[in-house]
Structure 1
């Protein structure tokens, strides 16, 4: 039995002692409160909730125990409940930086990044160093790249979170197309998943595919839930023309980054290259649902329209995408397919997919789809 299973199956000796004391003195509020805190420390949040409810039946919860209830709710995925409790507590204690951080964290989990940024003031950053990285992450989500980079550079030498800040800076600078700076900050925290991913993406841009794939694997080992690491691996598989594995990797990345339109777009192209047009259309539509003005996603749907003989829809979407972005690569591809199709009989899906695999700039050059996939990675920073 591993340690995690043991922890979940039976209370720790310290918690068990507290529970035994409570059995002997069932109305002792101090014991119940201490046991609730111990349960939370042990990761036994359901038991923590039970103890807090027991306490509340005897007396209203003190602010510290209300905060504990919210932390327990947050740990169990009840972010809305946690945020409501933190907000109520902050109204009573407006100068408490730790409550402000907790409320910002809960707000970020609910995709309310603007509220989180407003809560993470300088006094909060000074009191709770983790707030620095959280503020950078929220600014990133809001497209505030320059402000997030400036904040990171101010705190890159922080004694406690300097490594995390450097790793986050590497990601931000990569998205800002500052490759040299991104690499420099990534090297300050070379074991962090974010840094490994950035170094892998930079290796991929240099066409050092072997090094890139090795770095992506290390990034996923460091953080299996890193959507960007899975995205990088998927791009590497595209470069290897392993379209089936690329599609699976990119689907995983999209699942981990559900609000990241560029990742859904890239996943869609992998499915196009893998010959699964229905799934590709679904991924493109998800990207467009996230950002209704994402021209590349609209143009990509137009490409699938052509392949699936929806010519009127393809023409309409192609023109709409080009109105959004005159240089929209997917719309230009759809336009070319429409021109090719004019006056011709049915073409097989395989022949149409061959167009996507056509290399640009010579036989060894990247394919059209690979260029769009890499472009979508850059676009993702703004979507």
Structure 2
């Protein structure tokens, strides 16, 4: 197992990588059965994306009956690079049965789970390693250490996708002494934001960006924190940089939607939220943002659909019931609205949107000034989803 490399290897500048591959292949012509040279050449071909050349070297090693386990892992690495994940998983599982639990193998298997969007399977696979239930081998040195670093990143990403935020935050708090990679710190910062720990979100995102100035999740966190401070221009600047690098980053589009809401640009907000939910259809907070943006546009049928989708995702979320109740009041469906108001209050006595819907029913929110007073009374010092307090966040939107 000591000879098993990591996937993916670190990538040098592409021209240097190709030069090194050419040199190694030249040496290999003089010594074609050298096992270490053949392994190095295969790895270099994988690094440069020369998968057909990597396959040639793999075939050579297999024809020479070289270390079956090590080259089995390399074959799985090549299959993963070619996005043939099911075949790679079959090889890795066979190796795991032979060799037992090992972080290099388990990380790659967890990668396959994650890439296939089976976040629950990824979590289950990584749980023994993240909980300390498995004794980490001290052999393999850097390979084990790097695999564990990557496991932590993948663990947090999986929990975030599963919306297991309490579990994720508890793990982060329990492992403060563990040095996380910039990627893991970036994901941790988003989790901190989602559990309304803005100071921790700022610290974790700062650590990520100090080591990796373009770390996507950390930049999204910093943009969200800027929105909490009502600094939409700063947020837009950060989010623009994120989307240049990662145009399908759903959280960035969602944050842009909230920037549009903050600036009262509701048509633009709707478009950004719609892009966001197309990329992450399971994110309830973005469906809420889209629903409220449609309310501000007086597109009640679309707003109703957004809140209904949020309810389909989780019927025990008070603000989804409350948001739908607001739309139903505006559609003059008072009996249905009252049912959702009551359900929201049973779930959360302080449900903001339910209180707003009730005020609409009673006529308390009859004009803009009344809405402004109502917002402060309802929201008080409740924590906002992007940091800060709700009374700082929503009144400009409700004023419309």
TM-score (norm 2): 0.66
Matches within 5 A, 1:97-176: 97-109=103-115, 110-112=118-120, 113-121=122-130, 123=136, 126-128=145-147, 129-140=149-160, 141-143=163-165, 144-150=167-173, 153-156=176-179, 161=181, 163-176=182-195
Residues 359 and 309 of structure 1: CA distance in aligned 2, closer, same or farther (over 3 Å) = closer
Residues 211 and 37 of structure 1: CA distance in aligned 2, closer, same or farther (over 3 Å) = closer
Question: How far apart are residue 229 of structure 1 and its match?
Answer: 1.9
Question: How far apart are residue 118 of structure 1 and its match?
Answer: 1.5
* Separation (CA, whole Å) in 2 of partners of 1:169 and 1:114: 16
Match of 1:334 among 340, 344, 357: 357
Question: How far apart are residue 164 of structure 1 and its match?
Answer: 2.6
Question: Counterpart in 2 of 1:313?
Answer: 336
- Note if contact 2:194-2:385 (Cα within 8 Å) is conserved in structure 1: no
Question: How far apart are residue 78 of structure 1 and its match?
Answer: 6.8
Q: Does residue 322 of structure 2 align to residue 303 of structure 1?
A: no
Residues 100 and 210 of structure 1: CA distance in aligned 2, closer, same or farther (over 3 Å) = same
Question: Counterpart in 1 of 2:244?
Answer: 221
Q: Does residue 299 of structure 2 align to residue 279 of structure 1?
A: no
Q: Which runs of 5+ in 2 are unaligned?
A: 1-13, 23-34, 138-143, 388-400
Q: Which runs of 5+ in 1 are unaligned?
A: 1-6, 17-29, 342-351, 379-383
Question: How far apart are residue 67 of structure 1 and its match?
Answer: 5.0
Question: Counterpart in 2 of 1:197?
Answer: 220
Q: How many residues align?
A: 346
* Separation (CA, whole Å) in 2 of partners of 1:357 and 1:367: 13
Q: Does residue 366 of structure 2 align to residue 360 of structure 1?
A: no
- Note if contact 2:257-2:269 (Cα within 8 Å) is conserved in structure 1: yes
CA RMSD of aligned residues (A): 4.7
* Separation (CA, whole Å) in 2 of partners of 1:46 and 1:361: 68
TM-score (norm 1): 0.69
Question: How far apart are residue 167 of structure 1 and its match?
Answer: 2.5
Question: How far apart are residue 246 of structure 1 and its match?
Answer: 0.8
- Note if contact 1:227-1:256 (Cα within 8 Å) is conserved in structure 2: yes
Question: How far apart are residue 100 of structure 1 and its match?
Answer: 0.5
* Separation (CA, whole Å) in 1 of partners of 2:360 and 2:58: 64
Residues 69 and 187 of structure 1: CA distance in aligned 2, closer, same or farther (over 3 Å) = same
Question: How far apart are residue 301 of structure 1 and its match?
Answer: 1.9
